[in-house]
Structure 1
Amino acid sequence: MDWDLLHRAVTTIGKGVGTTLTLASVSLALGFCLGLGLAVMRISGNRLLSGFAEYYSAVFRGTPLLVQLFLFYYGLGQFDFVRENPILWWVIGGGMHCAIMALALNTAAYTSEILRGGLMSVPVGLIEAAKAAGMSRALRFRRIEFPLAIRQALPAYGNEMVLVIKGTSLASTITVLEITGYAKRLMSQTYAIFEVFTIAGIFYLLINAALIFAIRRIENRLTSPGR
């Protein structure tokens, strides 16, 4: 085993861990907020809002994330109004911003379905009891519906978080130097494909193992008696 190569690979690829975690955390935070809004729209009685949320989910879940990344990064830049608008150009002009936007919009579609299932699993009797107690719609959602929905949705949402971590690897295709980006650069310099990408895979495995452990601890805490 080439220990010099191993040390170089760990050191080089490790530089991308921070970028990977930033991509994942910001995308998940934005995607969760948007997904929650879409989930509420789906179960609302408004056909227009429900239809919009349904079609949004179908489009982003039905097309590959890589295609979405390319459309945002390479496609939107072809339009004059995008290049001339400083805000829009700030979003898609840089690989990091564009990757966060694509990941957030993509995970929002999956998150909306996960949260919708959680919200629909809340017993109707609890909601009726809250109404009878005089709780407002917002108060019912904050104290009853949302906490119970999160308990039901957390296992599935944990899987979505893991998928987002792995999805960040696609950001390397639009010049973002995260774990895979550094691995590709080092591979082109050393041609040690197996060694370099094995180490990159170990980095992803360690990150996801820590995430899964944290999610299971939260699940146990939420489902333990007396909570």
Structure 2
Amino acid sequence: MDFGFMWDTFLQLLSGIPLTLNLSFTSVAFGAVLAMVLALMRMSGIRALDGFARAYVFVFRGTPLLVQIFLIYYGLGQFRPTLQEWGLWVFFREPYWCAILALTLNTGAYASEIIRGGLQSVPHQQVEAAKACGMSGFLLFRRIVFPIAVRQALPAYGSEIILMVKATSLASIITMMEVTGLAAKIISQTFRAVEVFIVAGLIYLILNFAITRIIMAFEWWLSPHLRRPSTVEPRLEAAHV
């Protein structure tokens, strides 16, 4: 292996990291909003809304993301006259926005089930206790249900964020020059696929390691009841002495 070539490749692939993070975090942000809507539709008790959400999740979880990207970028291009008439061609002619749309729709389906599980895991006793204290409606959701649901769903949602970072590599098939797109370009010029893909994989590994640390720190911040024993017990021991 030529480590000098791999170092040069690493420096070249660094320029694709901003686009990779942009695609992943933008799609995760939009997908979180979509996921919350879908989760609330599933839990609404209204048959039409529940059926639509179930069908949406089934379709987007049951089909490959690669196929979804192809259908949005290449498939909708066949309806260019109609899209131009509706003023949507400005959006769908750009590979960036097609990638964002595909990633958002995909992660929204997965994240909706994660959020729904988090909301349903909130202990009923705590909700009843909050109602007894006079909380109701949005205040109950904001102060009790949502914080608990976030803590419950965060580990699984963190995994979904990591999966989306890796899923951005599929955007290279529609000419997006993120890390994988740049790697494919270097391979076409040098025909040294092994070294290039090792370096690209190392970059994704570093990114996901950093994201994992951030998620763990956020989970620690959201769980003060888990931190309290480690700070209180030494004080109690000192008091007994």
Q: Which residue of 1 aligns with 2:181?
A: 181
Q: Deviations over 1:59-96 (max 9, x none)?
A: 1101000000000000011113223333x223321111
Q: Which residue of 2 aligns with 1:35?
A: 35
Q: Which residue of 2 aligns with 1:84?
A: 85
Q: TM-score, normalised by structure 2?
A: 0.89
Q: Which residue of 2 aligns with 1:142?
A: 142
Q: Which residue of 2 aligns with 1:195?
A: 195
Q: Which residue of 2 aligns with 1:58?
A: 58
Kindly state the Cα deviation for residue 159 of structure 1 after the two structures are TM-superposed: 0.5
1:66-215 matches, within 5 Å, as: 66-79=66-79, 80-86=81-87, 88-215=88-215
Q: Is the 8 A contact 1:41 1:53 kept in 2?
A: yes
Q: Which residue of 2 aligns with 1:49?
A: 49
Q: Is the 8 A contact 1:38 1:112 kept in 2?
A: yes
Q: Distance in 1 between matches of 2:121 and 2:91?
A: 37
Q: Distance in 2 between matches of 1:84 and 1:4?
A: 53
Q: Distance in 2 between matches of 1:4 and 1:84?
A: 53
Q: Secondary structure at the match of 1:140?
A: helix
Query: Mean Cα displacement is larger for which, 139-148 or 61-70?
Result: 139-148
Q: Secondary structure at the match of 2:171?
A: helix
Q: Distance in 1 between matches of 2:91 and 2:110?
A: 22
Segments of structure 1 that go 5 or more residues without pairing to the other structure are none
Structure 1 residue runs of 4+, over 4 Å off? none
Q: Distance in 2 between matches of 1:114 and 1:21?
A: 22
Identity between Structure 1 and Structure 2 (%):
52
Q: Distance in 1 between matches of 2:90 and 2:175?
A: 16
Q: Distance in 1 between matches of 2:45 and 2:135?
A: 19
Q: Distance in 2 between matches of 1:147 and 1:90?
A: 39
Kindly state the Cα deviation for residue 3 of structure 1 after the two structures are TM-superposed: 4.7
Q: Distance in 1 between matches of 2:133 and 2:90?
A: 48
Kindly state the Cα deviation for residue 210 of structure 1 after the two structures are TM-superposed: 0.2
Q: Is the 8 A contact 1:42 1:50 kept in 2?
A: yes
Q: Distance in 1 between matches of 2:53 and 2:134?
A: 30
Q: Distance in 2 between matches of 1:44 and 1:188?
A: 52
Segments of structure 2 that go 5 or more residues without pairing to the other structure are 229-241
Kindly state the Cα deviation for residue 115 of structure 1 after the two structures are TM-superposed: 0.4
Q: Distance in 2 between matches of 1:133 and 1:81?
A: 55
Q: Deviations over 1:189-213 (max 9, x none)?
A: 0001000010000010000000011
Kindly state the Cα deviation for residue 138 of structure 1 after the two structures are TM-superposed: 1.4
Kindly state the Cα deviation for residue 4 of structure 1 after the two structures are TM-superposed: 4.4
